[in-house]
Amino acid sequence: MQWIQYLENTRNFNRADIMNAFEASGEKLGSPLFKKKLQQMLDSGTIARIGRNAYCIPENGEKPYSYQYSDLANEVAEVISEAHPLLMFSISELIQVNEFTNHQIAHNIIFLSVEYDVADFVFDTLKEKYPGKVLLNPSVELFHQYWYDNMIVIGKLITEAPKGKLQPWHARIEKILVDIMNEPLWLESISESELPTIFEDAFERYTIDESCLFRYAQRRTAEKRLRTFISDHTAVKLRTKR
């Protein structure tokens, strides 16, 4: 019997559970080999990380989140990386949520999050290449006043925001789910009635790192509100405990 059969009916498990499953199947592993096997299983998608020392066997085709950024988003990232090579930043696109919404968003917005103390420098860099298309920390009123397709909105990068796995500037799904509930401009761009569907589809299609999700929500002082929203307004069943 393979080790995975000892865990396939378990909603979540930790490293000790995986080690015990290996031993129960007759395979004893030392610590270095176990760590190597664990990483191989994560890389292959056999198991997925859903929290701190918490794993699951993906169900119903759920997979790690990935997104093909638009040419404009990639271009903006390249411009910033060349002008400010040590800068930490993150990019999300409004159309990034289209795969989760009932009503498709036709016009895109680039949401660029940067470290607060260098936002002015980034703004100066981008306004030269994209004149009239860049807004720095706009109010909702200014956002509507100057809105047009493919605008670039610069905002503050929250400390310890989740980093992408392929590129640090890629927005992880955990960050997007928190941002769309807390950023006024996201809330102005997406109907509130779409939020339950977005969360339910995201959790159904992708493996969500719940520790990452709520840790970032906590950084935004929104953890309690996020947990209440998931519990009261969605069919999402969290795998990990608080």
pLDDT tier at 239, thresholds 50, 70, 90: confident
- As a whole number of angstroms, the distance between CA 164 and CA 65 comes to 10
Average pLDDT over residues 30-43: 83
* CB-CB neighbours of 172 under 10 Å: 24
Q: How does the average pLDDT of the chain come out, rounded?
A: 90
pLDDT of residue 200: 96
pLDDT tier at 1, thresholds 50, 70, 90: very low
Burial letters 18-44, b for 16+ CB under 10 A, else e: bbebbeeeeeebeeeebeebbeebeee
Q: Tokens for 100?
A: 């989760």
Q: Tokens for 231?
A: 């519990």
pLDDT of residue 76: 97
pLDDT of residue 158: 93
Answer for the pair 72, 150: CB distance below 8 angstroms, yes or no: yes
pLDDT of residue 71: 97
pLDDT of residue 14: 84
222 versus 47: the higher-pLDDT residue is 222
pLDDT of residue 227: 96
**pTM of this structure:** 0.85
Q: What percent of the chain has pLDDT over 90?
A: 60
Average pLDDT over residues 72-101: 95
What would the pLDDT profile of 191-217 be if each residue is shown by its tens digit? 889 999 999 999 999 999 999 999 999
Average pLDDT over residues 55-74: 87
- As a whole number of angstroms, the distance between CA 13 and CA 4 comes to 11
114 versus 24: the higher-pLDDT residue is 114
List, in order, residues 6 or more apart from 156 with CB less than 8 Å away. 113, 114, 116, 119, 137
